[in-house]
């Protein structure tokens, strides 16, 4: 592979920039996109591995590479692509300009790094670990060589997932006669040494070893003999870091010693807690004195340490405008100082920050905790409560930090999200628009977070039925994402997915199908065929096929998605159950009502078991069951099912909810088929009146209900009334479309 220096006709290797136990890292050029990348070429699997093991290891590599490719956080190295070329497994990653922590120590002649840099690195890595652990991913080989510090101060963790693959293949050394995987012994947790199952707290122990080394110049157990190192991790209390270096803050020493607890239960609960403790400790340790009423310059008070992302900003009682790095602080990080927005070139003069005293560190820490509580409520689906929390935090952050501080905008973004989730699309649209405008002022129009807010604006426009406007926004955001991130970046692909979805709502079904297929192929290549995002797009491909009348292809695709979701997410996962529901829709469209009936019967039972009998999705499955009973001519059973579902939906969702009205119409259909047209007329009129009230007289669903009512009048022999109603419907339809 290195002879041609070209991998898969796309990645041209230029020069080696690193070597390690697993292989080489090359500086390379992605000739398709014209950008610099780093390519890690793993050592070839030698003849000592039999063919069946090699197949297993290759599949393991692909699985772990997909894990790494799915991680999207500013503190984690981005994986663009992976594959195999001439028998060599490779990864394509973002090209980082900087030095890993091991190199920084070497550059400093093994002397410890400055205290402020150590604390900054600790905070950034804790944020990245919090994100990856929340994805259910443990690094397992955290060490200085796997943590990069870039030229602008950004810190990134490398080799997620791949470190574990290397461990399994046997690239790491082993203790003779023990069977214990050595990995990197200076950073291994006691549970790794003992061969026990590890979780996120093992990473926290390893990170404690890293912090100990960069703060003191040596790891906690700096011994030549590997076995002695492992015994030290397992049995020996580490020497307190301040005995090596007295200038280290007391809070920092306490945190490091907690990270190095022998038992996982003695360590911080998770990386979020670690980040909060670091932020609060730094803020309390360096709280500046309350200044006298002065009009000094923008210098930061001596001793105050701001996060790396604030570098280039100005602080103090009378701040002047300074450039802002295009990096948004993590929601779990606080700002102890002044926030100064960037100058806006479209205005006649610079934007000056208002005079605002620095918030108390305790206030910042409390707001961070409450923000995270709001996120937790959202993850539990308690959107109304989450919205209340985020609104309160946004108001307090605006008062303490200013309206354009990234933390304030982050809270307002979450407010908009909860509004969207609780059906208040108009309010969400306004809220997202304000966040997008604020982020554009502060971060610039092309910043990923500005684009995220604009993309959510497009989504809410779609919720409101304003699909043409949504299309315009999606198209503009997609162009910016492709320009700044590349065509295969997960955020770019997410935008293209949303564009495909919106095109189907515009009636551009062929375009929707084409783009969805392209996105599904790209996501399969970048993330893997069974990645949830890939399957979401394949689900959209199936939907477009159905809309095009290609129901057999839709059925086949929905079945494949359902099977893949069952493998990767589990048989009872809501997404798996949703795909099964669409299989039933496709079977019904193809006239296979008996098969659809059995599918919905089983699905309704599974939904009731997993989510409860009154859950809207359980009721949706029961509705499908009733529809197919009718298609099979079993109208007495169909009517009974429709009435029960309608009553349950009215209780759970409300009398005027669209799903309730659909069920009420199904009741009317059943009555009509049983010849009970007077009763059917009552139901049809009730549905039409409710839709008229909720949607308006000219809405297509309202007009369809009026047509149902007219048909019922015809069946009752009331032809004159039916004709008059048909005329009214035609006039309304002409008025809405003409």
DSSP string, 171-201: -S-B-TTT--B-SSGGG--HHHHTT----HH
Q: Helix (H, G, I), strand (E, B), or coil: what is residue 247? A: coil
Q: Distance between CA 666 and CA 641 in Å, rounded?
A: 10
Q: Is 152 a catalytic residue?
A: no
Q: Residue range 9-28: average pLDDT?
A: 84
Using DSSP, state whether 91 is helix, strand or coil: strand
Beta-bridged to residue 85, according to DSSP, are: 88
CATH code where residue 104 lies: 1.10.510.10
Between residues 377 and 420, the one the model is more confident about: 420
CA distance 558 to 547: 14
Is the pLDDT score of 312 beyond 70?
no
Cβ contact 183:165 at 8 Å: no
The C-alpha atoms of residue 208 and residue 121 are separated, in whole angstroms, by 12
Per-residue pLDDT for 338 more than 70?
no
In this predicted structure, what is the pLDDT of residue 724? 92
181 shares its domain with 82 = no
Q: Is 440 inside a domain boundary?
A: yes
Are residues 81 and 165 both part of a single domain? no
Distance, in Å, from the CA atom of 497 to the CA atom of 446, rounded to the nearest integer, reads 20
Residues 218 and 340 both lie in one domain: no
Residue 71: predicted pLDDT:
81
Q: State what percent of residues in the chain have pLDDT above 70.
A: 84
pLDDT tens-digit series, residues 345-365: 333 333 434 456 777 877 887
Contact 397, 405 (CB under 8 A): yes
The annotation places the binding site for ATP at 40
**Cα separations in angstroms, 709 against 287, 343, 450, 666, 714:** 73, 62, 49, 13, 9
Last-in-domain residue among 469, 485, 501: 485
Calculate mean pLDDT across residues 449-464. Answer: 91
Residues 168 and 249 reside in one and the same domain:
yes
Give the residue ranges of the annotated binding site: 40
Residues 139 and 190 in one domain: yes
CATH code, 88 = 3.30.200.20
Is residue 3's pLDDT more than 60?
no
**Is pTM beyond 0.75 here?**
no
Q: Which of 42, 71, 94 is the last residue of a domain?
A: 94
Q: Residue 528 domain-assigned?
A: no
Residue 28 sits in the same domain as residue 138: no
- Please give the DSSP secondary-structure letter assigned to residue 308: G
Which among 141, 404, 449, 659 is annotated as catalytic? 141
What is the count of structural domains for the chain? Answer: 3
Among the three residues 465, 485, 505, which one is the final residue of a domain in this structure? Answer: 485
Does residue 447 belong to any structural domain of this protein?
A: yes
How far apart are alpha carbons 486 and 447 in whole angstroms?
14
Q: Examine residue 127 and state whether it is found in any structural domain, yes or no.
A: yes
317-326, 418-427, 600-609, 655-664: the lowest-pLDDT one: 317-326
Look at residue 148 and give its three-state secondary structure.
strand
Across the range 14-34, mean pLDDT stands at: 83
CATH number at residue 475: 1.25.40.10
Q: Dig out the tokens for 328 from the structure.
A: 């948004």
Alpha helices in 423-573 (DSSP H): 425-443, 448-463, 467-485, 490-505, 509-527, 532-547, 551-568
With respect to residue 416, please indicate whether it lies within any of the assigned structural domains: yes
pLDDT band, residue 664 (cuts 50/70/90):
very high
For residue 175, pLDDT beyond 80: no
Place 591 in a pLDDT band, splitting at 50, 70 and 90. very high
Q: What are phi and psi of 394, to 5 degrees?
A: -60, -45
Same domain, residue pair 133 and 87: no
- Residue 128, number of CB atoms within 10 A of its CB: 24
Claim to verify: residue 87 and residue 112 sit in the same structural domain: no
The domain containing residue 57 runs over which residues? 6-94
**What would the pLDDT profile of 691-708 be if each residue is shown by its tens digit?**
988 888 888 889 999 999
């Amino acid at each position: 592979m290195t002879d041609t220096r070209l991998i898969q006709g796309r990645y041209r290797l230029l020069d080696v920039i690193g070597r390690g136990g697993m292989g080489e890292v090359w500086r390379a050029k992605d000739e398709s996109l014209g950008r610099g990348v780093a390519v890690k070429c793993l050592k070839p699997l030698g003849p000592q591995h039999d063919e069946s093991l090699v197949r297993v290891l290759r599949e393991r590599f692909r699985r772990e590479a997909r894990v790494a490719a799915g991680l999207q956080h500013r503190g984690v190295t981005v994986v663009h692509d992976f594959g195999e070329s001439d028998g060599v497994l490779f990864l394509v990653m973002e090209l980082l300009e900087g030095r890993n922590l091991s190199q920084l120590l070497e550059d400093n002649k093994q002397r410890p790094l400055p205290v402020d840099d150590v604390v900054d690195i600790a905070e950034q890595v804790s944020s990245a670990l919090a994100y990856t652990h929340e994805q259910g991913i443990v690094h397992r080989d955290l060490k200085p060589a796997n943590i990069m510090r870039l030229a602008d101060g950004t810190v990134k963790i490398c080799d997620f997932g791949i470190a574990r693959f290397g461990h399994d293949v046997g690239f790491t050394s082993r203790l003779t006669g023990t069977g214990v995987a050595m990995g990197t012994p200076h950073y291994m947790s006691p549970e790794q040494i003992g061969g026990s199952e590890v979780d996120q707290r093992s990473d926290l122990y390893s990170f404690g070893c890293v912090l100990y080394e960069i703060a003191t110049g040596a790891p906690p157990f700096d011994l030549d003999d590997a076995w002695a190192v492992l015994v030290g991790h397992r049995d020996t209390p580490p020497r307190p870091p301040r005995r090596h270096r007295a200038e280290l803050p007391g809070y920092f020493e306490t945190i490091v010693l907690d990270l190095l607890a022998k038992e996982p239960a003695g360590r911080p609960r998770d990386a979020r807690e670690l980040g909060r403790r670091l932020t609060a400790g730094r803020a309390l340790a360096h709280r500046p004195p309350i200044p006298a009423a002065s009009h000094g310059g923008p210098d930061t008070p001596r001793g105050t340490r701001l996060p790396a992302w604030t570098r280039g900003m100005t602080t103090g009682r009378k701040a002047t405008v300074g450039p802002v790095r295009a990096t948004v602080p993590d929601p779990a990080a606080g700002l102890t100082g002044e926030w100064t927005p960037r100058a806006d070139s479209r205005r006649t003069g610079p934007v000056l920050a208002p005079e605002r005293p620095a918030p108390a560190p305790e206030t910042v820490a409390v707001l961070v905790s409450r923000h995270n509580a709001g996120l937790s409520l959202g993850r539990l689906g308690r959107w109304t409560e989450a919205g209340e929390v985020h609104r309160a935090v946004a108001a307090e952050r605006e008062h303490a930090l200013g309206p354009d501080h990234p933390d304030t905008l982050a809270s307002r973004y979450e407010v908009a999200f909860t509004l969207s989730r609780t059906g208040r699309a108009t309010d969400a649209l306004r809220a997202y628009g304000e966040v997008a405008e604020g982020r554009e002022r502060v971060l610039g129009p092309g910043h990923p977070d500005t684009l995220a807010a604009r993309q959510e604006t497009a989504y809410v426009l779609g919720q409101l039925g304003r699909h043409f406007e949504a299309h315009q926004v999606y198209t503009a955001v997609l162009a910016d994402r492709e320009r700044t991130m590349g065509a295969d970046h997960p955020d770019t692909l997410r935008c293209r997915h949303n564009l495909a979805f919106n095109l189907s709502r515009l009636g551009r079904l062929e375009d929707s199908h084409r783009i969805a297929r392209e996105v599904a192929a790209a996501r399969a290549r970048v993330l893997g065929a069974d990645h949830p995002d890939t399957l979401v797009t394949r689900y959209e491909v199936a939907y477009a096929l159905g809309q095009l009348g290609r129901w057999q292809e839709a059925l086949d695709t929905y079945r494949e998605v359902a099977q893949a979701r069952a493998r990767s997410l589990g048989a009872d996962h809501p997404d798996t159950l949703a795909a099964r529901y669409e299989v039933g829709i496709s079977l019904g469209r193809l006239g296979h009502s008996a098969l659809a009936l059995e599918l919905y019967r089983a699905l309704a039972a599974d939904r009731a078991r997993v989510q409860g009998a009154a859950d809207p999705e359980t009721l949706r499955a029961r509705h499908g069951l009733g529809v197919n009973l009718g298609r099979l001519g079993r109208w007495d059973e169909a009517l009974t099912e429709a009435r029960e579902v309608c009553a349950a939906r009215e209780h759970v969702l409300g009398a005027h909810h669209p799903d309730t009205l659909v069920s009420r119409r199904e009741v009317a259909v059943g009555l009509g088929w049983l010849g009970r047209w007077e009763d059917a007329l009552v139901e049809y009129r009730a549905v039409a009146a409710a839709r008229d009230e909720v949607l308006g007289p000219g809405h297509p669903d309202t007009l369809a209900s009026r047509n149902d009512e007219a048909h019922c009048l015809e069946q009752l022999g009331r032809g004159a009334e039916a004709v008059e109603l048909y005329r009214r419907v035609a006039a309304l339809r002409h008025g809405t479309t003409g």
